[in-house]
Amino acid sequence: MATRPSHARTASTNLASGSGQRALEGRVAIVTGASRGIGVEVARTLASKGCNVVINYTSDSSTQTAEALASELEAEYGIKAISVQASMGSENGPKHLVEVAKNNFQHPKTSKFQLDIIVNNAGVAGNNLVENVDCEDFARQFNINVRGPLLLLQAAIPYLPNDRSGRIVNLSSVSSSLGYKGQSIYGGTKAALESMTRTWSRELAERCTVNAINPGPVATDMYWSNDEAFIAQNKPFIENTPLAAPRKGIDPEKIYEASQNAGGRPGYSEEVAGVVGMLCLPEAGWTTGSVICANGGMKFSY
């Protein structure tokens, strides 16, 4: 089982303890792309609130990690968690994910199945100037980031609640509105996802709330894989982000040092997951069709 950084353990403990209540007790959630990064922390946050979790992942190399996370969450929070391999970029992957969830969580006698929460977290990125964009990369990013959530929702609609208690949270990005050089495609996919968020909030108003969050840089594998040119481009944005100033002795030393040349620190996965968790609570039932700031103030909500 992988160890977690101290700041992650502290944040998770606070989320889990809260008022001592498990506000999502017995509910079922699907979290796509949940074998690493933000998805792991979203799954952990929901589980800490009593929610059963379907941990989705794509590649064979993530099988062991996803299975270990499911076992960890079951042991720590007393919920049921399963891991399901399915590609959100394929035509059949989203439907397969819902079918496996149903087979594992439907009532043994009545066969009733309700899917309470969907977190569309799986996504891919790519940086390319407009003259170098090709159709293959366009299709790859749009299939995973846009078509995947659409097909997953289509498969899930028969099983959503009918009392507005359902929750859908889509992971967008500040890239949808900041106009980063090289992100014609990635930014476009996230803008499309935000547009679908607003449409779904109206179409599904009697079933669930539908919101998006827009993280900025987050300390995930995707963030650390960016080249120096992108880090330099991003520096002015981070320098003007209210919460991005690195904190000596609070932030891990690796991140503190790396932040000196980057203009500030990235967010942590558990900080983003905490916003997702809030949107999934019953108390968030009056919030829908919104893009919520989850980026330290880099790009404010609207």
Query: Annotated active-site positions, please?
Result: 172-173, 186, 190
For residue 57, what is the DSSP state?
Answer: E
Maximum CA extent, the chain = 59
Can you tell me the distance from the alpha carbon of 34 to that of 227, in angstroms, rounded to the nearest whole number? 25
Can you tell me the distance from the alpha carbon of 152 to that of 209, in angstroms, rounded to the nearest whole number? 16
Reading the block at residue 225, the tokens are 């894989």
Residue count (the chain)? 302
Can you tell me the distance from the alpha carbon of 56 to that of 149, in angstroms, rounded to the nearest whole number? 13
H or E stretch covering 124: none
Helix axes 6-17, 37-48, angle to 10 degrees: 30
Reading the block at residue 57, the tokens are 């992942």
